Structure 1
Amino acid sequence: MAGDGRRLEQALDTLDEVVYVYDESFRLVHWNQRLNDLFDLSDAELEGMRPTDFFEDGDHAGIAAALEEIVETGETVVEAWAQTTEGRVRFELTGRLLTDDDGTMRGFAGIGRDVTDRHEREWLLSRQNQRLDEFADILAHDLRNPLAVANGHLELARQERESDALSAVGDAHRRMGRIIDDIRTATQTGALAATLEPVDVAAVAAAAWESVETHGARLDLPEALTVDADAQRLRRLFENLFRNAVEHGSTSNSPWTDDGETTERAVRVRLVETDAGFAVEDDGPGIGSVDSERIFDPGVSGATDGTGFGLYIVRTIAEAHGWTVRATESETGGARFEFDLRPS
């Protein structure tokens, strides 16, 4: 048995991670060689040290809270900075409670991992997102001002006379406004984060439909469908899907209206429940030659008046909920977007 214990110690000493055991008074009683090497301390110096002794003052409160969590829940994970022989290191520290058979606390054990690179990547990504957010704000502001001036002059021109050319200019202005709004939504830090609660999907979809120019299209809704979602983000998702269906459905081969006569702009959109979640489909011409994965990329649009950001926003909102979405073909040959709400 003694030989087995020695082999275990040798094995632990080969690890890049720090292994530690503290007693019930939160004093260090066992560790591997990695801890000696990182802090250039002997076994005699390490014996009895407290968890906070290794880390920077600014992280002491977080470590103290983690120790309380171990006692209360039996485990914890916390991150902290330390000055080591290898420089300043960000550690991810785990802790698991150790107890006797009768439940008496005997201390805790855990592992410390160097997550400095991950932390730096996350920090850089956060900075990049912040700068992108600032850039989008400036871009939106600087574009909206001249667009407002252009709209003002357009209205003055229309007071003098109306023409197809002026109508085309008005359509272009509206599209520019939508592009600005979509870029802002797609780049705004936290704008697509989701706070989940039970939501009546049909009610949210109906509200989204009312805010979209449907041009005679019709929406079919399920009688009852409840999912855990962020209602505001879900409405934005539906608005983009419905707008996409109406824009692409204008050339539908199966248009219909209440009186049975055909119309170029009429398309039927359905929200249906599926085994995995729900789907939105239409009876338009489908996604055509656009790749079913690439269709969610920013800037990709199959409609002449599309912004190219609508389906990108749909996917981003879905992913913020922890969902996946895929584009496929409906039974009528139109577009179908299926949302899988099951956890990965």
Structure 2
Amino acid sequence: MGADSWLVEEALDTLEDVFYVYDERGRLVHWNAVLAELFDLSEAELSGMAAADFFVSADRPQVEAAIEEVLETGRTVVEARAETTRGTVLFELTGELLTDADDESLGFCGVGRDVTTVREREWQLARRNEHLGEFANVVAHDLRNPLQVAKLQLEAVNGDPDPETVARVVEALDRIEGIIEDVLTLAREGRTVLDRQPVELAGVARAAWDAVETTGASLEVRTDATVEADASRLQRLFENVFRNSAEHGPTGESGADGRCDGAGGLTVTVDDTETGFAIEDDGAGFPVDIVEEAFEAGVSGSASGTGLGLNIVRTLAEAHGWAVRVSEGTDGGARLDVDFESLYTDTASLDDWAGGRGE
């Protein structure tokens, strides 16, 4: 190897990005040290590998389509996920056609750049902008109703107000206070969690249970998992789910954020799943007409609900990069799953994000 070739090899190996060269058959013929390190493969294993083989099965078709594009048009850019020694990574992959002096194709080369963090920030910014619109709707719509109630009750007072009128005004003002607190929580908790520490899931769940009014209900914790999280925000996630369950006791009014007259006999269970954990109760469950929109701001099965409880849960989860979903529980109650798989390396989430940009 000449001095110039050695220098080029050294330069490529200092890159933080993956560098690769494929022949006209789409087989790997040259690469830098980063690629070998990320996939923990030997030179013999890497030599001749197809590009799509590095990526998760769901993303292989788009990688194969990109290879066809670079060979036909001379250039391509595609994003795909891969399981690496650093975890699941979202790569932005480029391709440039290589030709000989007669313009005959020799293959292609390109760079694979880790864009996971970039997409996380873009996704979080998009979500925060979405929350701004939700806040405006809540303030404009939900606050107007209790304010109008209080105003009408006070206008009707002639002399000393009767206890019933005072009670209605207090109830309206309490509702306003609850909405304001929920909106402030959404604004504060939407920030991305940067400082994570090992947290025992069972301990946080029990602390949250003790902080919520759950008279007559019981908690079963079936996990000994430790997760990387912001302990205070994780506890608030549990608190909001527990409160939602308790306010929808087995005989109470159901809905995403409704109220009922107690949680007697209700059992709430926290358990491990393959990708995270689940919180499930044996209560009334979610009404069919709102389950698909349970996390949206303002969605509630009760006139007294703010419609922000589960929206806060989603916000707290997404601040950690986790995904959440609701479904019917084993015994017909409500179930909420939290998946530790990154939102930003999930195809559906990326499609949602891209769709919001009009792509």
Normalising by structure 1, we get a TM-score of 0.51
- Verify: 1:237 aligned to 2:177, yes or no: no
2:337 maps to what in 1?
Answer: 338
1:323 maps to what in 2?
Answer: 322
1:104 maps to what in 2?
Answer: none
Looking at structure 2, the residues matched to 112 and 282 of structure 1 have their Cα atoms a distance apart, in angstroms, of 45
Looking at structure 2, the residues matched to 177 and 283 of structure 1 have their Cα atoms a distance apart, in angstroms, of 30
Residue 217 of structure 1, CA deviation: 2.3
Residue 23 of structure 1, CA deviation: 10
Partner SS for 2:336: strand
Looking at structure 1, the residues matched to 222 and 112 of structure 2 have their Cα atoms a distance apart, in angstroms, of 51
Partner SS for 1:187: helix
Task: Return the letter of the residue paired with 1:203.
Answer: G
1:204 maps to what in 2?
Answer: 204
Residue 318 of structure 1, CA deviation: 1.7
In the TM superposition, what are the counterparts of 1:221-232 in structure 2 within 5 Å? 221-222=221-222, 224-232=224-232
Kept in 1, the 8 Å contact 2:192–2:319? The answer is yes
Residue 299 of structure 1, CA deviation: 0.9
Residue 222 of structure 1, CA deviation: 2.5
Looking at structure 2, the residues matched to 164 and 71 of structure 1 have their Cα atoms a distance apart, in angstroms, of 80
Task: Return the letter of the residue paired with 1:336.
Answer: R
Partner SS for 1:305: coil
Percent identity of the aligned residues? 44
- Bigger radius of gyration: 1
2:216 maps to what in 1?
Answer: 216
Looking at structure 2, the residues matched to 245 and 331 of structure 1 have their Cα atoms a distance apart, in angstroms, of 15
Kept in 2, the 8 Å contact 1:193–1:317? The answer is no
Aligned CA-pair RMSD: 4.8
Partner SS for 1:326: strand
Kept in 2, the 8 Å contact 1:247–1:303? The answer is no
Looking at structure 1, the residues matched to 131 and 333 of structure 2 have their Cα atoms a distance apart, in angstroms, of 39
Residue 203 of structure 1, CA deviation: 1.2
Task: Return the letter of the residue paired with 2:322.
Answer: W
Aligned pair in 2 of structure 1 residues 131, 178: CA closer, same or farther (>3 Å)? closer
2:263 maps to what in 1?
Answer: 265
Task: Return the letter of the residue paired with 1:285.
Answer: A
Partner SS for 1:293: helix
Looking at structure 2, the residues matched to 333 and 194 of structure 1 have their Cα atoms a distance apart, in angstroms, of 37
Task: Return the letter of the residue paired with 1:278.
Answer: F
1:283 maps to what in 2?
Answer: 282
Partner SS for 1:76: coil
Looking at structure 1, the residues matched to 303 and 131 of structure 2 have their Cα atoms a distance apart, in angstroms, of 31
Residue 164 of structure 1, CA deviation: 5.2
Kept in 2, the 8 Å contact 1:220–1:271? The answer is yes
Residue 73 of structure 1, CA deviation: 7.6
Partner SS for 2:16: strand
Residue 319 of structure 1, CA deviation: 2.1
Task: Return the letter of the residue paired with 1:324.
Answer: A
In the TM superposition, what are the counterparts of 1:1-344 in structure 2 within 5 Å? 74-76=14-16, 129=129, 132=132, 163=163, 166-188=166-188, 191=191, 193=193, 195-222=195-222, 224-249=224-249, 251-252=251-252, 264-266=262-264, 267-343=266-342, 344=346
Partner SS for 1:271: strand
Task: Return the letter of the residue paired with 1:287.
Answer: F
Kept in 1, the 8 Å contact 2:216–2:263? The answer is yes
Looking at structure 2, the residues matched to 249 and 73 of structure 1 have their Cα atoms a distance apart, in angstroms, of 61
Aligned pair in 2 of structure 1 residues 73, 251: CA closer, same or farther (>3 Å)? farther
Deviates more, 1:305-314 or 1:164-173: 164-173
Aligned pair in 2 of structure 1 residues 112, 274: CA closer, same or farther (>3 Å)? closer
Residue 225 of structure 1, CA deviation: 2.7
Partner SS for 1:244: helix
Residue 233 of structure 1, CA deviation: 1.4
Kept in 2, the 8 Å contact 1:248–1:303? The answer is no
Residue 300 of structure 1, CA deviation: 0.6
* Gap runs ≥5 in structure 2: 18-31, 35-108, 155-159, 254-260, 347-359
Residue 241 of structure 1, CA deviation: 0.6
* Gap runs ≥5 in structure 1: 1-20, 30-69, 78-95, 99-108, 155-159, 254-262
Residue 97 of structure 1, CA deviation: 8.2
Kept in 1, the 8 Å contact 2:189–2:316? The answer is no
1:82 maps to what in 2?
Answer: none
Task: Return the letter of the residue paired with 2:220.
Answer: D
Residue 71 of structure 1, CA deviation: 7.2
Looking at structure 2, the residues matched to 311 and 220 of structure 1 have their Cα atoms a distance apart, in angstroms, of 21
Task: Return the letter of the residue paired with 2:313.
Answer: V
Normalising by structure 2, we get a TM-score of 0.49
Kept in 1, the 8 Å contact 2:323–2:338? The answer is yes
Task: Return the letter of the residue paired with 1:74.
Answer: T
Q: What is the aligned length?
A: 226
Task: Return the letter of the residue paired with 2:292.
Answer: E
Looking at structure 1, the residues matched to 280 and 221 of structure 2 have their Cα atoms a distance apart, in angstroms, of 11
CA offsets 1:190-211 (integer angstroms, 9 cap, x no match): 5453533221112111222222
Aligned pair in 2 of structure 1 residues 178, 264: CA closer, same or farther (>3 Å)? closer
